[in-house]
Amino acid sequence: MFSRIDHVGIACRDLDATAEFYRRTYGFEVAHEEVNEQQGVREAMLRVNGTDDGHATCLQLLEPTRPDSPVAKFLDSRGEGVHHIAFGTGDVAAAAAAVGHTGVRVLDAEPRQGTSGSRIVFLHPKDCGGVLTELVEAAVSAVPGG
């Protein structure tokens, strides 16, 4: 049901400075940038491996856009660092339902919009060994032939 790590989310205070750190230290370039107002983030995707078809593995750098957002609250309480891990799946609604049946709290009753038109749901970190976990279905348009 889950075939890959889609991305690792990293909370930061300064997106541009953090992207520059990853560029100069590892050579990872920003493949995509967007603002997701629903999630309260300005974000940059840095492709670590794979191709730009919605199935790559990325780092997702996250800067908050408002003080009451999940990433802003995380920065206040824990500071900068790894915020979540995201697993890729072909059907996020079915995957969330299956995980929900195991007793893990699914935070989104319906999938929300993620990066580049993907569909996402979050799982409660307290039910996942302290790891905030995201499930991601890539947008159809990002899949070759889709």
- Is 9 a residue that touches Co ion (CB under 5 A)? yes
Place of tokens 């919605």: 54
Q: Are 27 and 51 within 8 A, CB to CB? A: no
Closest distance between ligand CMX and the C-beta of residue 73, in Å?
5
Q: Would you count residue 61 as binding ligand CMX (CB under 6 A)?
A: no
Residue 48 and residue 31 in contact, taking contact as beta carbons nearer than 8 Å = no
Query: Least distance from C-beta 145 to ligand CMX, angstroms?
Result: 26
Instruction: For residue 116, give the DSSP letter.
Output: G
Strand partners, 47: 58
Residue nearest to Co ion (CB): 9
Please state the φ and ψ torsions of residue 143, each to the nearest 5 degrees.
Answer: -100, 130
Q: Angle 103-101-55 (CA atoms, 0-180°, nearest 5)?
A: 105
Among 10, 41, 96, 138, binds ligand CMX (CB under 6 A): 41
CA diameter of the chain: 44
By beta-carbon proximity to ligand CMX, the closer residue of 28 and 133 is 133
Asked if residue 136 binds ligand CMX (CB under 6 A), the reply is no
Q: How far is the CB of 28 from ligand CMX (least distance, A)?
A: 18
| SS3 of residue 15 by DSSP | helix
Residues that bind ligand CMX (CB under 6 A): 9, 36, 39, 41, 60, 62, 70-71, 73-74, 77, 83-84, 107, 114-115, 122, 125-126, 130, 132, 134
Binding site for Co ion (CB under 5 A): 9, 60, 86, 134
